[in-house]
Amino acid sequence: MANTGTRHKLKRSLGMTDVLALAFGTMIGWGWIMLAGKWVTDSGVFGAILAFAVGAVLCIFVGLTYAELTPALPLAGGEVVFAYRAMGYNASMITGWMIAFAYLGVAAWEGPALATALGFLFGDHLPAGFVLWKVAGFDVTTTFVLIGSLGALLLAYVNYKGAKSSAIFQTVATIAMALGGVAFLVAGVVKGDVANMVPVFTNGQGFVAVLLMVPAMFVGFDVIPQAAEEMNLPLNKIATILSFPSVWRRPGIS
Distances (CA, A) of 220 to 25, 41, 98, 165, 193: 8, 26, 15, 19, 34
pTM check: above 0.75: no
The packing angle between helices 89-122 and 142-160, to 10°, is 130
d(CA 251, CA 254): 8
One digit per residue, pLDDT tens: the chain, 254 residues? Answer: 445 556 677 777 788 888 878 777 777 777 777 788 888 888 998 999 999 889 888 888 888 888 888 888 888 888 899 999 999 999 999 999 998 888 887 777 777 778 877 877 787 777 878 888 888 787 888 888 888 889 888 888 888 887 778 888 888 888 888 888 888 889 888 888 888 888 888 888 989 989 988 887 777 777 888 888 888 888 777 777 766 543 443 433 33
